[in-house]
Amino acid sequence: MKDLKSLKIDKIAMQGYGLGHLQGKTIFVPYTVPGDVVEIKYTHQKKDIAFGSVVSYTSRPSGVKDPGCEAFGPKAQCGGCDWLMADYSIQLLWKDELIHSIFDNIVPKERIHPIVASPRDTHYRNKAFYPVTSYKGRLSFGMYRGFTHDVVEHRSCKLQFEEFDAIARRVTILAQKAGIQAYQEEKHGGNLRQIGFRASSDHKEIVLILVTKSTKLPFSNLLVKSLTSEFPKLVGIVQNVNRRRTNVILGDEDKVLFGRPWLNESFMDLKFRVHYRSFLQVNPGTASLAVESIKPFLTGSRNVIDAYSGIGTIGLSLASLCRELTCIEETPEAVEDAKFNAETNNLSNVKFITGKVENVLEKLLDKKSAHDTIILDPPRSGVDEKVITAISGSALDKIIYLSCNPMTLARDVRHLQGKGFELVSLQPFDMFPQTWHIETLAYLRRKS
């Protein structure tokens, strides 16, 4: 075919792409690794760069393996994994390379530490939401194809806890018998939108979430009876109603069909209650390693702020190391969980503020503030400029910043270094094996 191009992949790039060069262009191709020689076709082009898809692999280097998943690769294009075909040790090397490519021009190389591996490299995610679709007249579920809302079916996802797929499969069978139709995004028709899960890290408790367009859910009593008898780990089944024509998964209405909307969790020797809406790191093994690594940075800290605190997993785990801990969180359910968790663990030096960090911090860090340390664990978008302004104008001496997006972390580190802080240590963690995503812990101190 005339439109096919032969390309050698030279390195790994952001977003998990393999990168090669051809006819003066930089080419980005998913599902490729350094050393691959592939036949590609362009999917779209710009002046100096292009994106391609693999038509066939001419040759592949050592370290490439059978991914063991029919949904992975250039044919099905499931968006869940990027590197399922690569040995885990090689994935870690790639992530180190990506971190250095982002931060080497910002901080001295010796302050960037090698990535810490995940205790588990498959079946590590304690949370999942599967979109539901209709295929040849039957209900099915899966993951979205990369950069689309087309659902790719799978038999057994390599990322999620293994129980999730069996329960989801049973839900679709029961819903099919009850005449429940899959939600149709383009027409805003049908009803069952997503099948979601939250599970405890010990796999003993699971909360199932059925996201629907309307409150009507035929034969819900029979569905609950069947599921709970077949899957005794289910401690709660929640119907979440999302009436809006939106890509946002959850709506504002909840109906508990069985049990409770929260589960019991253990983390860093503490007990936690986790509402299914509350934020909790999806990889509990790596999360505990990251929080443990924060402890040395709190030496000498007295009054600590835990911003974007969620249910308190980070802050409460470190509360015994400071005199006073102030948690800031905007999700009411998470704040209620955090208060309950502090009381359950007999932590009396903690107070809670409900609100957006960017709206709360300026008032909290006034001239009379005695806070000396702040812990930041923001969403992928990073911290708001108002947060950086409030920190720079305060008496805070230490910033401990846990980020799930190295690009926005780099942006924020640049800003903070321009506001009188210096990055002392950068420690990546593999929170998301089989994907290009990286969790990174940055420790900054105010310059003398």
CATH topology of domain 127-266: OB fold (Dihydrolipoamide Acetyltransferase, E2P) (2.40.50)
How big is the chain by its Cα radius of gyration, in Å? 23
Contact 166, 231 (CB under 8 A): yes
pLDDT tens for residues 380-432?
A: 999 999 999 999 999 999 999 999 999 999 999 999 999 999 999 999 999 99
The DSSP bridge pattern shows strands 439-446 and 421-429 to be: antiparallel
In DSSP terms, 400 is beta-bridged to 375, 443
User: Would you give per-residue pLDDT tens digits along the chain (448 residues)?
Assistant: 457 899 999 999 999 999 999 988 999 999 999 999 999 999 999 889 999 999 999 999 998 999 999 999 999 999 999 999 999 999 999 999 999 999 999 999 999 999 999 999 999 999 999 999 998 889 999 999 988 999 999 999 999 999 999 999 999 999 999 999 999 998 999 999 999 999 999 999 999 999 999 999 999 999 999 999 999 999 999 999 999 999 899 999 999 999 999 999 999 999 999 999 988 899 999 999 999 999 999 999 999 999 999 999 999 999 999 999 999 999 999 999 999 999 999 999 999 999 999 999 989 998 778 999 999 999 999 999 999 999 999 999 999 999 999 999 999 999 999 999 999 999 999 999 999 999 999 999 999 8
Contact present, 124 and 283 (Cβ < 8 Å): yes
Residues known to be catalytic:
404
**5-61 and 127-266 have identical folds:** yes
From the candidate CATH numbers 1.10.940.10, 3.60.21.10, 3.40.50.150, 3.90.79.10, the one assigned to the domain spanning 97-119+283-446:
3.40.50.150
Single-letter residue type at 129: F
Question: Using an 8 Å Cβ cutoff, are 365 and 387 in contact?
Answer: no
CATH class for domain 5-61?
mainly beta
Distances (CA, A) of 218 to 147, 178, 224: 33, 6, 11
Q: Give dist(CA 313, CA 338) in Å, integer.
A: 8
Under DSSP, the state recorded for 182 is: B
Q: Where are the domains of the chain?
A: 5-61, 97-119+283-446, 127-266
